[in-house]
Amino acid sequence: MFSISILVFSLAAAAYRLWRSLAISKDSGNHTASRLKILERSHETGVALSRLVEHDGAGSWPPKASHGDWPSELLPYHEIYMEMIPLLSSANPSLNNDVNIKRLNRFRSLLSKKLSERVDMVGVYELLSSIEAGNWSGCCREAFNGFYCCIAVLRHSYRWAVIPIVKVAQEEKIVDFPSQIDMPWAYLQRHFGVESDSGSNTSNVLHNYNDMGERAYKININISEAVDTTEDAFFRMFYDVEVIAYPMYQDMVSANIAFEQGNKKECLKHMQDINIRLRELLKVFYQNLVESRVAKGMWLRYCQGFQAWGAGRMVDGEYVEFDGVSGSHNLCFMVLDAFLGMKSYMNEQNLCRYIPRNQRLMVATFRKHSFFDKLHADNDQEISHQFGKIIQHLKVFRSAHKNRIMPYLAQPAPERMMMTAGKSFNEPSNDAAHLKLLDNMLVSRLKDTIAVASKLLA
């Protein structure tokens, strides 16, 4: 019986790997690059997509990143993360505050020591300043993207110091980071146009994958196989949706162009392609956020806590707190909403804190050019029908997401207080109230989506 389940699991894993490689190869390479050039010349949304790909993506999307194959000034950071990470998580979290404080201090002092002994701050400063001045001769964009991830995960590991995360760390509201991970962070955040002290889906997740789709900076080493597989499957979803979304963004640009040119037949074709891609994209969520791939007991303690933040700093005499990484940072859902002309899920302040400038600009441009409201009931029935299908897909996703995530968040973790990665608040006096608050946010977004559907029918 046991060997049959292993066989079934291995076959499913092999099928999944095959699907991924097909999804990646289908639209990669010259075809996508040349199509992008044409779109860039033809429409403002094409310009925004092209800017994102060239500047932030190192010529591709999801962004290209390399890890460790870097200029010598940056290399110590990669080596230090790799050395420190086996010390971060433990199979038996303690409930004793004194024990946890000792562990936290031990991890932080060792990390600080390694950083101060091995990072040449002047060298790093000169390299980053020269990149900021537009000179990329000392570092390619791919390496810069990988470095962004490395500094982000070093900061998250310093922030928590103990995985599963513990109450004593959650209670710390201002963390004094070593200058070696503060100084480059300021450069990186300025470059990408993001304001938060914490990482985001872009820095911590997308930039963590190399060209082969392998993740460089793990959180847990040698805890258990179940933790390894959960960690891999969970983060992979956020990368895989962007793999499928890239050609979908191009179809959206093409649909805009065709609609504005009055070429309804061509526009319909692109709308149909968008729906085909969207179905595949959502399958990533439906097939992977299941117990057999992302185990609830492992996820909350070993994957989610690291990505949270819940700390801040004083700005002009006022305490400003930052959240951690959230699913709401996913570019594809922001673009889909914008394509429908929906208002953003995140407010302006959070967009500036967690979403890189070029992603924000692209989303805003798609919203500006949304032709959803320009459809005519009589003449554009087929295109309207395709919009209806997109909305239906989003409704089903939002409803499934809301229902599936709650048991993940409700997992027991007595060593910590309840805290999501994307929303740090812990005002509600009990866990049920906390979950209710999150549920309300998701219900409200589902209602917004249903409201768009009713506009279409009207």
CB of 336 to ligand HEM, least distance (A): 9
Tokens linked to 373: 């409201």
Q: What are phi and psi of 418, to 5 degrees?
A: -65, 135
- Taking the complex as a whole, how short is the minimal distance between the CB of residue 116 and ligand HEM, in angstroms? 35
- 178 upstream amide cis, omega within 30 of 0: no
* DSSP code, position 263: -
The answer to whether 445 contacts ligand HEM (rule: CB under 6 A) is yes
Member of 107, 185, 285, 322 binding ligand HEM (CB under 6 A):
285
Two tokens, residue 454: 């009713």
327 binds ligand HEM (CB under 6 A): yes
Residue 241 is a binding residue for ligand HEM (CB under 6 A): yes
Instruction: Please give the torsion angle defined by the CA atoms of residues 446, 448, 450 and 454, in that order, rounded to the nearest 10 degrees.
Output: 180
Least distance CB 408 / ligand HEM (angstroms):
4
- Please say which residue, 251 or 337, places its beta carbon nearer to ligand HEM: 337
| Nearest residue (CB) to ligand HEM, 100 versus 170 | 170
Out of 198, 326, 359, 370, the residue judged to bind ligand HEM by CB under 6 A: 326
**In 261-330, where does DSSP find H-type helix?**
264-288, 296-298, 305-307
Place of tokens 């504005």: 260
Q: How far is the CB of 237 from ligand HEM (least distance, A)?
A: 4
Least distance to ligand HEM, CB of residue 333, Å: 4
Residue 335 near ligand HEM by CB under 6 A: no
Burial class (CB in 10 A: 0-12, 13-18, 19+), 429: exposed
- Binding residue for ligand HEM (CB under 6 A) from 38, 183, 361, 441? 441
Rg, C-alpha atoms of the chain: 22
Annotated binding residue 401: yes
HSE-CB at 432 with a 13 A cutoff on CA atoms is: 0
Q: Report how far apart, in Å, the C-alpha atoms of 381 and of each of 25, 176, 239, 372, 376 are.
A: 34, 58, 34, 12, 8
The distance of closest approach from Cβ of residue 420 to ligand HEM in the complex, given in angstroms and rounded to an integer, is 5
Nearer of residues 160 and 238 to ligand HEM, judged by Cβ = 238
CA distance 424 to 444: 19
Q: Is residue 246 a contact point for ligand HEM (CB under 6 A)?
A: no
User: Candidates 94-102, 234-242, 265-273, 352-360 — which segment interacts with ligand HEM by CB under 6 A?
Assistant: 234-242
Total residues interacting with ligand HEM, rule: CB under 6 A: 24
Binding range to ligand HEM, per CB under 6 A, among 132-140, 187-195, 306-314, 440-448:
440-448
CA 98 to chain centroid, in Å, comes to 34
Among 328, 359, 370, 386, binds ligand HEM (CB under 6 A): 328
Q: Which residue in the set 187, 333, 339, 354 belongs to the binding site for ligand HEM (CB under 6 A)?
A: 333
**Owner of token pair 């859902």:** 333
Q: Which residue has the tokens 């953003």?
A: 344
Exposure class string for 367-389: b at 16+ Cβ within 10 A, else e: bebbbbeeeeeeebeebbebbeb
- Residue with Cβ nearer ligand HEM (158 or 333): 333
Q: Does 438 bind ligand HEM (CB under 6 A)?
A: yes
Between the CA of residue 454 and those of 337, 344, 375, 384, 447, what are the distances in Å? 15, 18, 14, 12, 11
On the CB side of 89, how many CA atoms lie within 13 Å of its CA? 22
Q: How far apart are CA 200 and CA 330, in angstroms?
A: 10
Q: Nearer to ligand HEM by C-beta: 50 or 200?
A: 200
User: From the CB of 203, what's the least distance to ligand HEM, in Å?
Assistant: 16
Residues 114-133 that bind ligand HEM (CB under 6 A): none
Q: Which of residues 7-36 bind ligand HEM (CB under 6 A)?
A: none
Q: Rounded to 5 degrees, what are φ and ψ at 322?
A: -110, 150
Find the binder of ligand HEM among 66, 202, 330, 358 (CB under 6 A): 330
**Are residues 50 and 39 in contact, defined by beta-carbon separation less than 8 angstroms?**
yes
Region 363-422 residues binding ligand HEM, contact defined as CB under 6 A: 398, 401, 405, 408-409, 420, 422
Nearer to ligand HEM, 145 or 330 (CB): 330
442 lines the binding site for ligand HEM (CB under 6 A):
yes
| 318-322 and 311-315 beta bridge pairing | antiparallel
In the bound state with ligand HEM, the residue whose beta carbon lies nearer, of 193 and 327, is 327
Nearer to ligand HEM, 9 or 425 (CB): 425
- Say whether the peptide bond before residue 62 is cis (omega within 30 degrees of 0): yes
Q: What residues between 289 and 318 interact with ligand HEM by CB under 6 A?
A: 289, 299
Which positions make up the binding site?
401
Which positions make up the binding site for heme b?
401
* Residues contributing to the site for ligand HEM (CB under 6 A): 237-238, 241, 285, 289, 299, 326-328, 330, 333, 345, 398, 401, 405, 408-409, 420, 422-423, 438, 441-442, 445
